[in-house]
A = this chain, B = another copy of it.
């Protein structure tokens, strides 16, 4: 278990003599209750989770709701700019928000390895609540399972988020239309390279920070000013290239992007060049792609630039009718090449 904490490049907690998770914390009995009441309840503190029932009950207005689930297995647990707790909340908040919904509630399911440090768990839980506070969501129900040493890698966290769709919304991967513009909310590759750096796999020091962030407020602000947003998606695993291919396939359109418009910060570009990675395939955890009518594109772009998470937003391309189900890139050299989905495995356990 000590390697968990060792792996953590910026783990803020001292290692030795910490109280540790033991199998009894998964018994469902007194020790489970202690764990919940000491670590989770004081932090997630809200009327739903405080009820002490096995689930939560909440009121909803009539309408449409969105739900999304993600399990988080990122390694290491702590990395510059984030940690598994922050990531587990932001990832799910963003997945709900990109469907055109206001994220409201979240559940959290923990699988913890025997021997895991109480203090590190507390740090992760605090980080979850910090992200939840920023996003304005409540973590209303949870579950904890403990597995023996050697049957996990410290901690895995599943979060499931639900939210209510904004009225009249029909935003999904099938709605991209010829003539639409493609906006990206900022620099590519920060998260993937930050995690790689925290693993010590770069072979040199780097100050690249993960972009892990809750994007729901920025998303809400653009939904409120435009009813011509057709698709939103966060380019996480598989990167921008994979996300755009998914959309091109779902909408049966062609998406063409311009290489020289795609923002990559110089330090990330350098690392990618040295290691042979393409930033188009690196995971992001605080970026969105917005596909919007040409008419509303400048208005939406301007609104995104107002958000601290969208300052570097830029139009990177456009949607056309054919060739269907294809992503193309106009390169800096003036040629056009096909951008395929990620094949094989680039960076495992990035989220």
A153 at the interface (CB under 8 A from B): yes
Chain A 53-73 interface 0/1 with B at a Cβ cutoff of 8 Å (1 = within)? 111111111111111111111
A290 at the interface (CB under 8 A from B): no
Q: A348: which of B23, B105, B152 is its contact (CB, 8 Å)?
A: B23
- Find chain B residues with CB under 8 A from A152 CB: 151-152
Q: In the complex the two chains form, is B52's CB within 8 Å of A56's CB?
A: no
- Find chain B residues with CB under 8 A from A24 CB: 343-345
- Find chain B residues with CB under 8 A from A223 CB: none
Q: In the complex the two chains form, is A60's CB within 8 Å of B63's CB?
A: yes
- Find chain B residues with CB under 8 A from A217 CB: none
**Given the contacts A32-B238, A238-B29, A342-B30, A60 and B65 also touching, CB distance less than 8 Å:** yes
Chain A 86-103 interface 0/1 with B at a Cβ cutoff of 8 Å (1 = within)? 000000000110110100
Nearest-CB residue, chain B, relative to A243: B28
Q: In the complex the two chains form, is B68's CB within 8 Å of A58's CB?
A: no
- Find chain B residues with CB under 8 A from A341 CB: 29-30, 33
A46 at the interface (CB under 8 A from B): no
A145 at the interface (CB under 8 A from B): yes
Q: In the complex the two chains form, is A67's CB within 8 Å of B105's CB?
A: yes
Interface centre among A71, A145, A345, A348 (most CB of B within 10 A): A71
Instruction: Choose the segment among A108-116, A202-210, A304-312 that binds chain B (4+ C-beta atoms closer than 8 Å).
Output: A108-116
Q: In the complex the two chains form, is B145's CB within 8 Å of A72's CB?
A: yes
Q: In the complex the two chains form, is B67's CB within 8 Å of A28's CB?
A: no
**Given the contacts A107-B160, A346-B27, A57 and B52 also touching, CB distance less than 8 Å:** no
Q: A96: which of B55, B101, B236, B250 is its contact (CB, 8 Å)?
A: B55
Q: In the complex the two chains form, is B111's CB within 8 Å of A28's CB?
A: no
Q: In the complex the two chains form, is A28's CB within 8 Å of B238's CB?
A: yes
What is the bound-complex CA distance between A348 and B239, given in angstroms?
39
Interface centre among A56, A68, A236 (most CB of B within 10 A): A68
**Given the contacts A53-B173, A55-B96, A344 and B110 also touching, CB distance less than 8 Å:** no
Chain B nearest Cβ from A85, distance in angstroms: 16
Q: In the complex the two chains form, is B141's CB within 8 Å of A67's CB?
A: yes
- Find chain B residues with CB under 8 A from A351 CB: 145
Q: A345: which of B31, B242, B250, B349 is its contact (CB, 8 Å)?
A: B31
Contacts A67-B107, A107-B160 supplied; 4 other A-B pairs, CB < 8 Å: A27-B346, A32-B238, A56-B66, A71-B111
11 contacts between A and B (CB under 8 A): A27-B344, A29-B342, A31-B345, A54-B234, A55-B66, A67-B105, A70-B109, A71-B110, A71-B144, A72-B145, A147-B156
Closest 4 CB pairs between A and B? A28-B237, A29-B342, A55-B68, A28-B238
